Structure 1
Amino acid sequence: MKIRKLVGKVHLWLGFASGLLVLFLGITGCMLAYQREIEYATQPYHFVAHQNEEKLPPSKLREIADAQLPGKMAHSVSYEQGKASKVVYFSFEPEYYFTVFLNPYTGDVIKVKDMDKDFFRILIMGHYYLWLPPEVGQPIVASGTLVFVLMLLTGLILWWPKNKAARKQRFSVKWGARWRRVNYDMHNVLGFYMTWVAIFIGLTGLIMGFQWFSKSVYWAASGGESLVEFYEPHSDPAQQVSHTDMPAMDRVWLKMLEEHQQVGGSLEVHVPHDDEASIETAINPDTDTYWRGDYRYFDQYTLEEIPVTHSFGRFSEASLADKIIRMNYDIHVGAIGGIVGKTIAFFASLIAASLPVTGFAIWWGRRKNKETKKPERVRKLKVN
C-alpha cells in the first residue's frame, strides 16, 4: 500500500507538470489524424484527370515552377497517377517552404501555395515545436512525451484492482452514477483502454524526439548494431562525362519511370542543390504511408547508383531495425493501420487529451472533501 501511495503521488505530480502539454498534444493530434483525407476533400488542386499522353520531365516542370518563384531553389519534383505534380521549394537559410501544383501533361500551373500559411502546416509546427524555435520547442515536447509515457505506466499500476470485487469496476463506466463517479470512471476505465494505443504513440514520439532513444531502439531491434545517421551521398565532379542535351535529373527520371509504372504509387526526383550533390529518387508504392518507400541515389555525372548504409535506402535491403525506424511516423499517426488505424489513433488522442481534465477534477474533488471534513473534526474536538 505504501508503494501504491507513492506511485499515486508520482502520478499526481507528473500530471501537474505535463497536464497542459498533454491536453494540447492530444487535441492537435486528433486534428492531424485525418489530415490527408481532409486535404483531399477540400483542396481540389491536388487532382488532375488522367490523360493518355506523356508527362513532362522534371526539368521542364521545374522550369515552369521557377518562373512562379524567382530566386527560390527547387527541392524536388513528384508524380502520382491522378494527382497534380508538385514542385517543392524548401530552405532553412533563408527560410521558406512553397509547393507549386502543376498539370504534369500540359505544365499548366494549378496553384502556388505558401506552406507556412497552410492550416495543417501551422498545426504541425505547434504539435512538434509549440510554435517556438525548434531548438527550444522540440526538447519541451519530447520531455513532455517522456513524462506522458511514465504517467501511462504509473496509471496502469494505480488502475490495477485491489481485489476481485473491484475488478468489474475497472472495465466499465457507471454512466448512471453521480458526475464525480462518472468522471472517476472515465479517467480510470477510458485511460486503461487508451493506454494500449497511446503507449505506441508516446514511444514513437520519443523516437522522433530523442536521439538517444531512437539509437537505443535501433540497437535493441538490430541485435547490437548502431544506427547510422541519415546522410546524402555525394557526386564526384571529376567524373563528369558528356551526355546529350537532356539534364541529368531527366535521365534519372526516365531510368526510374519504368519501375514506377510497374510498382505504382508515387515517384519523386530530388533536384541536386550543388555540384557535389547526388540525385535522390523515391518510389512509394503506398502513398498512404511512408515506410515502404524505395530510396535510391545517383551520381549526377555518371548516373551510377550510389549505395547508402543508413535506414533510408533500398527497401529490399532494409533490415528489421531499419523498417522499425521507417515505420515510426506511420505508427505515430495510425496510418500503418489504414483508415481504421487513424480512427483508433484519433480516439486515443482524444481520450489522452481528456485525462488531464478528468484527473484534475478527481484531485479537486478530493481536496474539497478534505476541506469540508476538516471543520467537522475541529467542531467535534471542541465539543469533547
Structure 2
Amino acid sequence: MATAPPKTAVKKKRGKSLFRTINDWLHLWLGLVSGIIVFIVSITGCIYAFQKEISSVTQPYQFVQVEAKPYLSPSALKKIAEQHQFGDKAGKPGSVINAVQYPGTGKAAIATYRDKQTGYMMVYLNPYSGQVLKAKALEKDFFRIVLIGHFNLWLPREVGQPIVCWATLIFIVLLITGLVMWWPKNLRKANVDKSFKIKWKATFKRVNYDLHNVLGFYTLIGAFIIAVTGIYFGFKWVPKSIYWVASGGKTMPERRGAMLSDTTAIPAQKALYSAEDSIWSKLSHEYSNTGSLSIQFAQKKSDAISASYNPEQETFYKNHTRLFDRYTLKEIQGQTLYNKSYEQGSGADKLVRMDYDIHVGAIGGIAGKIIAFLISLVCASLPVTGFIIWWGKKRKKPKAKPVAKATVA
C-alpha cells in the first residue's frame, strides 16, 4: 500500500520587501545604462590625477634656470611672442597675445591666445631673456585630450557634458542603492566577513562579487564626494544649492563675470610703460614676487585689465582675480567669487571655491591625489564587476525541482 511521504516542518522563506525589490531593480538597470560612461569618466580621472607631476618630467620647457635679474615685462614678452607666432601680422586683429602668466620662480612665462584653427595656444618663454622655448596647441596635449574625455566623452561640449553629468548623477543614486543592498541583515561573523572582507582564495565568481561589494563600501564616501564635486561643473543648481545650504540661505555670487573700465571716454595715453606693465609691477611688489601672477590684456577700449594671483602651486582655490581701469589704473571691485581674496570670503565662498581641488584630491597634497586616484580606480572597476555579476546570474541555469518519491509499505 502506498503512503504519502511524512510531512516535515518547512520554514517559509521570507521574500524581499517592496522597497528592496525596487532598490535592487534600480541598482541593476541604472548600472547597466550608465556603466560604460562611469567607466570612461573614472578611468580618465585616474589618468589625469597626476597630470602636474607627470608633465613636470615630460615637459622640461616649463622650467628655466633662476637668474639674478628681473623678469621682462608683460608687454615685452607679449611683443616677442607675437613676433614669433605671427611675424609681419603681429599686433593686427586676430594676431594678438591675450595674456601673459608668470607661474613662479624657476618656471617659464606663458603667453596665451586663441587661434581659430588650433584653439588655445601657449607660448613658453624664458622670463629673463624672452627666448621662446616652446609653442604648443593645448588641444593636442595628451592630458588635455584625457580631460576632454573626462568632461565631454570626446563629443561636442553641448552633447557630451550633459551625458557625463546625468551619468554621474545616476552613479550617486547607484552608491545609495548599493549601500542598501550591501547592508548586512545581522552582525553574525559570517555576514561580517562577507560584507567587510574579500575572500581571495574563493572562486573567481566569489572574488568578483566581493570586489564589487566590499571595495564599493570602503570607497563609498570618497566616491560620493568626487561625484558631487564633479556634477558641480555641469549642473548650475549644484553649486547654488551647496552655497545656499552652507551660507544659511544666501544666493551665490557668479563664478565668472566681466567688468568694464569706468572711464572709457578718456583716450589712451602714450607712456613709457603700458598700463598692463604698471599693474604687473605694482602687484609684483605687493606679492613680493611669490606665487603665480597672470596679466590679461585689455583688448577693447571698454575692457578692464584683469590680474590673477595664486599663492599656491598645486591648488586653485586661493586664486584672486583683481580688475583695474585701463586708463586710470584705479582698481575696480568685481562681483564674482574670485574677485576677493580667499581669506576675505565667507565659509560658503571658501567651500565652493575649493570644489575643484577637492574633486581632484589636490586639497590634501600628494596624499590626497593618491587617495583620489585609488577611489577613481575602484569607481572604474564597479561597472565591470557589476556587469560580470549580472551576466553570471543571467546565464545561470535554474535548478530542477526534486521529485518526491512515494514509499511502499
TM-score tier, shorter chain, comes to: over 0.9
Partner of 1:136: 159
Partner of 1:298: 324
The yes-or-no answer on 1:342 pairing with 2:369 is yes
Range moving further from structure 2, 117-126 or 29-38: 117-126
Q: Is the Cα contact below 8 Å between 1:172 and 1:189 reproduced in 2?
A: yes
Partner of 2:215: 190
Q: Judging changes above 3 Å, is the alpha-carbon distance between structure 1 residues 239 and 221 closer, same or farther for their aligned structure 2 residues?
A: farther
Partner of 2:322, secondary structure, is strand
Give the whole-Å Cα distance in 1 for the aligned partners of 2:114 and 2:274: 21
Aligned mate of 1:151, from 174, 192, 205: 174
Partner of 2:367, secondary structure, is helix
The yes-or-no answer on 1:214 pairing with 2:230 is no
Q: Which has more radius of gyration?
A: 2
- Kindly provide the amino acid, as one letter, of the partner of residue 339 in structure 1: I
Partner of 1:74, secondary structure, is coil
Give the whole-Å Cα distance in 1 for the aligned partners of 2:125 and 2:183: 57
Deviations along 1:147-179, one digit per CA (max 9) or x if unpaired, are 011111111111111111212321111111111
Partner of 1:311: 337
What does residue range 13-52 of structure 1 map to in structure 2 within 5 Å? 13-52=29-68
Q: 1:78 Cα deviation (Å)? A: 1.0
Partner of 1:58: 74
- Kindly provide the amino acid, as one letter, of the partner of residue 36 in structure 1: K
Partner of 2:221, secondary structure, is helix
Partner of 1:106, secondary structure, is coil
The yes-or-no answer on 1:105 pairing with 2:128 is yes
TM-score (norm 2): 0.88
TM-score (norm 1): 0.94
Of Structure 1 and Structure 2, the greater helix share is in 1
Q: 1:217 Cα deviation (Å)? A: 1.1
Q: 1:259 Cα deviation (Å)? A: 2.2
Q: Is the Cα contact below 8 Å between 2:257 and 2:335 reproduced in 1?
A: no
Q: 1:73 Cα deviation (Å)? A: 3.3
Partner of 1:289: 315
Partner of 2:140: 117
Q: 1:243 Cα deviation (Å)? A: 6.0
Q: 1:342 Cα deviation (Å)? A: 0.5
User: Where does structure 1 lack aligned partners over 5 or more consecutive residues?
Assistant: none
- Kindly provide the amino acid, as one letter, of the partner of residue 392 in structure 2: G
Aligned mate of 1:269, from 292, 295, 300: 295
Partner of 1:83: 107
Q: Is the Cα contact below 8 Å between 1:227 and 1:310 reproduced in 2?
A: no
Partner of 1:77, secondary structure, is strand
Q: Is the Cα contact below 8 Å between 2:232 and 2:238 reproduced in 1?
A: yes
Q: Is the Cα contact below 8 Å between 1:241 and 1:302 reproduced in 2?
A: no
The yes-or-no answer on 1:4 pairing with 2:20 is yes
Q: Is the Cα contact below 8 Å between 1:200 and 1:332 reproduced in 2?
A: yes
Give the whole-Å Cα distance in 2 for the aligned partners of 1:260 and 1:34: 28
Give the whole-Å Cα distance in 2 for the aligned partners of 1:240 and 1:317: 35
- Kindly provide the amino acid, as one letter, of the partner of residue 249 in structure 1: E
Give the whole-Å Cα distance in 1 for the aligned partners of 2:248 and 2:155: 37
Percent identity reads: 45
Q: 1:271 Cα deviation (Å)? A: 1.4
Q: Is the Cα contact below 8 Å between 2:122 and 2:138 reproduced in 1?
A: yes
- Kindly provide the amino acid, as one letter, of the partner of residue 141 in structure 2: D
Partner of 1:249, secondary structure, is helix
Q: Is the Cα contact below 8 Å between 1:130 and 1:137 reproduced in 2?
A: yes
- Kindly provide the amino acid, as one letter, of the partner of residue 238 in structure 2: F
- Kindly provide the amino acid, as one letter, of the partner of residue 310 in structure 2: N
Q: 1:317 Cα deviation (Å)? A: 2.4
Count of residues paired in the alignment: 376
User: Where does structure 2 lack aligned partners over 5 or more consecutive residues?
Assistant: 1-15, 87-93
Aligned mate of 2:206, from 162, 181, 188: 181
The yes-or-no answer on 1:352 pairing with 2:379 is yes
Give the whole-Å Cα distance in 2 for the aligned partners of 1:47 and 1:302: 35
Give the whole-Å Cα distance in 1 for the aligned partners of 2:177 and 2:164: 20
RMSD: 1.8
Partner of 2:110, secondary structure, is strand
Q: 1:245 Cα deviation (Å)? A: 2.4
Q: Judging changes above 3 Å, is the alpha-carbon distance between structure 1 residues 141 and 105 closer, same or farther for their aligned structure 2 residues?
A: same
Q: 1:95 Cα deviation (Å)? A: 6.6
